[in-house]
Structure 1
Amino acid sequence: MSGRVSRAEATRAQERTPRDSRRFRRVTAAILMPVGPLILAFLRLHGDGSDTYDEIVADPSGQWAASLWNWLALFSLVGGAIAAVHLMMRRAPILATVTGAILTPAYIAMGALSIMDGIAWGAVRTGLDRASSDALSEAAFEGPITFVPVLIFVLGHITGVILLGILAMRTRFMPLWFGLLFTVSQIVHLVATFGGIPWLDFIGWGTTAIGMGVLGWHVLRTPDDIWEAAPIPRPRKRA
């Protein structure tokens, strides 16, 4: 009788335990990690983004599609940064925490750039000339709703990737030679942005994408029990 009771209790406990979805979340995270930088690498290769108004006038449908790809990149960047930091947290908790605290909000703040693109899009759609569009964009950029997050993005994502590269080398998830390339990849992007050099920007973001792919490969190789703790049974409802 006691054996039957024990088995029944074990069955009820098992029914109250959430499904173990750690592998699904881990594999999804690994796949997402290089997606954001890879999207931005190709977007920057086909336009440096320095003349959004003229680009919209020349190819409205292309710029509409590019804006959607930008949002997909943003969501992937945020998830990828969280996964990368989570991967290395146990080996270097302080550095990983600082890296995540800088890189994650920086990627979230990237959404402010879409506000500026939206202003240019609206200017074209309403028939404003180039001078009026530029004046509107400058006035909007001066406000904190755009200036502050753009500043956070620019400073934060470059600093964050530098720290992420140092973190990857310190935790031995990357060899030194490639870790150094990964660390300076967003500095290359910055130089390419100011210089208006699309192919160099492609190299910068492309190197970031490869680095995130390397970290994603380590995520795939990480056992579920090391990646995160197993789900536990939910407490039974009181009668």
Structure 2
Amino acid sequence: MTTTVPRTANSADTRGWSRWAAALILPIGPAAVAVLRYVLPYDTVDDSATMVSKVVAAPGRMSLVLWLGFIAVLTLVPAAYSVGRVTRQRAPRLTMVALLLLIPGYLSLGWLTAEDQFLWSGAKAGMDAGAITRLADAMHPSAAVAGVFFVLGHVLGTILLGIALWRTRVVARWAALAVIVSQPIHFIAAVIIANHPLDLFGWGLQAVGFAAVGWAILKLPNDKWA
């Protein structure tokens, strides 16, 4: 007669691994964008001709931007979702609105990096700068829509997610505040004064705040990581 040993709940419990995965992923995306914004060869407010000329002059930096953008696209959405997992119990509505803004915004980043890919590819292929500029100006309108989704989504969504962290006290107040102010600083640095070191600082604050959330997740017992 064969005796079957019942499977315990702990044998199938993967929450410990998922907590570690979340903690490791959380700061990667914001940190990647922080470095991306620092090494970006052009300014966000540049016109197409200026952007093209700067990319042609620095293809190596643009290649690094594309790699960092690829890393960000892979990690920002799971990072936002992981933060939402620890704030939704005490701030469900605020978390929901934040994620409804953040996730489409982050997903739109992939569409925006396509334009940078095109600029780098044109420069790498030795195309005439004027031809690259004309093609850049003829980008599909969906790129502009993606830009709106990204700007509104990641700026407003990050602010709301930081407020959710503040209200729920998942992390220390300084970490929640770092997340709240990170994207307004980025917006100022990218759109108003075109300051790449300040942009690095803004996104870096989000990376630090998300790292603090990751540390808080590691300290959670499995039954609190639902």
TM-score range, shorter chain: 0.7 to 0.9
Give the aligned partner of residue 111 of structure 2. Answer: 112
Deviates more, 1:82-91 or 1:56-65: 56-65
Q: State the identity as a percent.
A: 32
Other-structure match for 1:14: 7
**Deviation (angstroms), 1:174:** 3.6
Q: Look up the match of 1:204.
A: 202
Matches within 5 A, 1:29-44: 29-44=22-37
CA RMSD, 1 decimal? 2.3
| CA offsets 1:27-46 (integer angstroms, 9 cap, x no match) | 01111101111111122222
State yes or no: 1:122 paired with 2:121: yes
Say whether 1:186 aligns with 2:183: yes
Amino acid at match of 2:213: L
TM-score, reference length from structure 1 = 0.82
Q: Provide the residue aligned with 1:46 in structure 2.
A: 39
Structure 1 residues 212 and 178, CA gap change in structure 2 (3 angstroms): closer
* Aligned-pair CA distance for 1:178: 4.6
| Length, aligned pairs only | 219
Deviation at 1:126, TM superposition (A): 4.1
Of 143, 148, 155, 2:145 maps to 148
CA contact (8 A) 2:59 2:123 kept: no
**1:237 matched to which residue of 2?**
none
1:99 and 1:160 in contact (8 A); partners too: yes
- Whether 2:74 is the aligned partner of 1:75: answer yes
Question: In structure 1, what is the equivalent of residue 87 of structure 2?
Answer: 88
Indicate the residue corresponding to 2:47 in structure 1: none
Q: Would the alpha carbon gap of residues 127 and 30 (structure 1) be closer, same or farther in structure 2, given more than 3 Å must change?
A: same
Higher CA-based Rg: 1
* Aligned counterparts of 2:160 and 2:143: Cα–Cα separation in 1: 25
Aligned residue in 2 for 1:26 = 19
**Greater relative contact order (Cα 8 A, min sep 6): structure 1 or 2?**
1
Q: 1:223 to 1:121 in 2, by over 3 A?
A: same
SS at match of 1:218: helix
Residue identity opposite 1:104 in structure 2: I
How far residue 59 of structure 1 moved from its aligned partner, in angstroms, is 3.4
Change (3 A) 1:52 1:20: farther
**Is contact 1:48–1:197 with CA below 8 Å preserved after alignment?**
no
* Structure 1 unaligned spans of 5+: 229-239
